Amino acid sequence: MQFDDQLQRYFATTDLGTIPADALTAGIERMRVDLGMEQDRSRRFALWSLLYMLGAAPDLDVAFKDEADREAARNFMDLVAGSEEA
């Protein structure tokens, strides 16, 4: 999954700064539906990561059945937090 491709798919643009609030809400809802239906672990993680960056990710125990996936998500969250501090 390419980041720009996902932005284009869910928000019809690759520029997050230009997405109107209602389009952002609608795109996030579509992403959450797709996350719930996605069976591929890597695609689920990519969707969850983008939702996390948008402040709309479901809790880890809801998003991931496997503990290894939850740990990977925690590591991602730590990396994001570390980059925000820098």
Give the per-residue pLDDT at 14.
93
| Stretch 62-81: mean pLDDT | 95
How far CA 37 is from CA of 16, 19, 79, in Å, comes to: 24, 25, 27
Give the per-residue pLDDT at 3.
87
Give the per-residue pLDDT at 86.
63
How far CA 14 is from CA of 11, 17, 19, 42, 52, in Å, comes to: 8, 9, 9, 21, 17
Residue 30 has pLDDT above 70, yes or no: yes
Residue extents of the structural domains in the chain: 3-85
Give the per-residue pLDDT at 2.
87
Residue 1 has pLDDT above 80, yes or no: no
Mean pLDDT, rounded, of the chain? 94
Stretch (H or E) spanning 56: none
